[in-house]
């Protein structure tokens, strides 16, 4: 039961990550982008705080790393699928890190 849950959780995480990546449009070409308007003045006493960029991707990275760690330290091999699942998880983590690396916003 626990094995099935972990496998389903891993598969669901990967599916969510790939669905999110497929549904997100590519960034526009910066050379053809219109100029950004100037920032508006903040009210007195207000401070500017930047929102965390791409919180969903960062959350997915954390979930994938946690699932990978669990699979690496598990006492069993998940019906022979552990090595391939870890390999796929590594690939998903690598792709998400590349997405964040090339984000220029």
Per-residue model confidence as pLDDT tens digits over 46-101: 555 556 788 899 999 999 999 999 999 998 888 889 999 999 999 999 999 999 88
pLDDT band at 3 (very low <50, low <70, confident <90, very high): confident
Give the range of the structural domain holding residue 104, as residue numbers without chain letter. Answer: 1-24+54-105
What 3-state DSSP class applies to 22?
Answer: helix
What local confidence, expressed as pLDDT, does residue 28 receive? 53
Global pTM reads: 0.51
Residue 34 lies in a domain: no
Number of domains the chain is built from: 1
The residue ranges of DSSP E strands in the chain, in sequence order, are none
Cα(66)–Cα(34) distance, integer angstroms: 40
Residue 47 lies in a domain: no
What local confidence, expressed as pLDDT, does residue 44 receive? 59
Residue 33 lies in a domain: no
What local confidence, expressed as pLDDT, does residue 37 receive? 47
CB 89 within 8 A of CB 42: no
């Amino acid at each position: 039961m626990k094995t099935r849950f972990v496998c389903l959780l891993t598969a669901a995480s990967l599916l969510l990550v790939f669905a999110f990546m497929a549904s997100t449009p590519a960034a526009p070409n910066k050379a053809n982008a219109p100029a950004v308007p100037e920032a508006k003045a903040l009210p007195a006493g207000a401070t500017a705080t930047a929102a965390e960029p791409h919180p969903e991707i960062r959350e997915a990275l954390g979930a994938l790393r946690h699932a990978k760690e669990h699979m690496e330290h598990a006492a069993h091999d998940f019906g022979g699928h552990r090595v391939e699942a870890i390999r796929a998880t590594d690939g998903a983590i690598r792709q998400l890190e590349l997405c964040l690396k090339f984000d220029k916003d």
